[in-house]
Amino acid sequence: MANIVIFCNESMKNPDAGYTPKWNTELAKAFEELGNKVFWVNFSEEGVTNSIVEAFKEKPDFAFAFNWVYANVLNLKLNDGENLINKLNIPFVSWFWDGICVPTNPAVRFAGLNHLIVACVSEDETEEVTMLAPHVRQTFFNPLGGTVIGISKGGGIIPINKRKYHISYIGSRLNFYVDRNFINLPREIAQIINDIIDVMIADPLTPAMTALRQVLKVKNISVPDNWLRNFCFKYLNIANLYMRDWSRLKVIRTLANAGINIDIWGGGHATPKPSWEDEKWVTCHGGCSYGDGLQIMANSQITLNVGMFPGGLHDRVTSGMLNGAVVLTDPSTYYHKNFVDGEDSLTFDWKHLDELPEKVIKLLVDEDRMQRVADLGRKKALENHTWTSRAKKIIEQVQIYKAVAGI
């Protein structure tokens, strides 16, 4: 049995209100189901000092946090000025749920912990972390787990033919689908970003870092690693955000223009134009909580994901499967290794996106086949894509690191 400390900095009183509280509680439950003991340190709550004392009464095997909580952990200094995690000589696992170049991912940007392990949700990014962040000691790929909640919890899955929504999509629009002038950026930087976007539009499975290198090569620009790091931390996420919006709009409009009804939840869908509401087949319901989103998946025949993780998988995929929906998702190398298009889920080829509506329509009118696809997808997700599966991977990676580092 291992002692594991989970750091967080958001309210845990209503874990269905947001995704991070829910992910934290699901992961903690998974650690405990595997026979471990979990201690919580919540920086947003009064009495955090007492929580720290209790959590570190005995030396933990490792500590964990999502994304930006790393910055709080860096500030955990003892009287002698040394960091608590370093003093105890234990690994710290930081799990990014978005791209590694998102500015709010401080673990890549700032050194300070001696045994920092980084988990990425897209496999291609594990190869980039050590260049971007030489202070990271080990990286590994670990897509987010799928979550079950509400009406589908405990096996109460609604049959496909009884579900309220034909196709649902849950995800905010980021308002990056604009004219690409990037007028607030230096002209040379804006041109590089536009060139990166062009490469990714030509092949949306191209990771942004790969596209950047291709652009620099074509321009015959040689840059040191430090320039590359600075560019990635400051600017690369602009291309990622643009592509996320571009791809979502592209897929939804392709379906809507074929007369396929889609119900959408999430903010930012009204402006700027062109907006999804221009299509009479698209119904926008506004924002919803994470828990409500899972409920919607559990009452949808097909749930759509356009996550733009070229080497990974968004949790909308595994959560949709676990809640009994047929998942329609953009392709990725990880998807093709783990799922089969038309058998346990649906995907498409970006170069032949025009073929997607017919594929969807054929499935919607065949409820028996739709149920078979949903059932097989749920079976696969239960076997390999739960939070327990992800917790096992974290523990395995920590054990490997400790054995190599001798701690």
Q: What is the pLDDT of residues 124-150, one digit of tens each?
A: 999 899 889 999 999 999 999 999 875
User: Are the beta carbons of 41 and 52 closer than 8 angstroms?
Assistant: yes
Which residues are within 8 A (CB) of 206 and not within 5 positions of it... i.e. 6 or more apart?
A: 199, 200, 214, 310
Concatenating the DSSP letter of every residue in 286-336 gives ----HHHHHHHHTTEEEEEE----TTB--HHHHHHHHTTPEEEE---HHHH
Torsion of CA 104, 110, 115, 121, to 10 degrees: 30
Which range (133-147, 165-179, 214-228) has the least confidence? 165-179
Mean pLDDT over 223-239 rounds to 91
Q: In which order are the strands placed within the sheet that holds 282-284? A: 282-284, 262-265, 165-170, 300-305, 326-329
| Interatomic CA distance for residues 185 and 308, integer angstroms | 24
Sign (positive/negative) of CA torsion 331, 337, 343, 344? negative
* Structure tokens belonging to residue 10: 């958001």
The answer on pLDDT for 177 being more than 80 is no
Question: Could you tell me which of 29, 25, 16 has the C-alpha nearest to residue 293?
Answer: 16
The answer on pLDDT for 273 being more than 60 is no
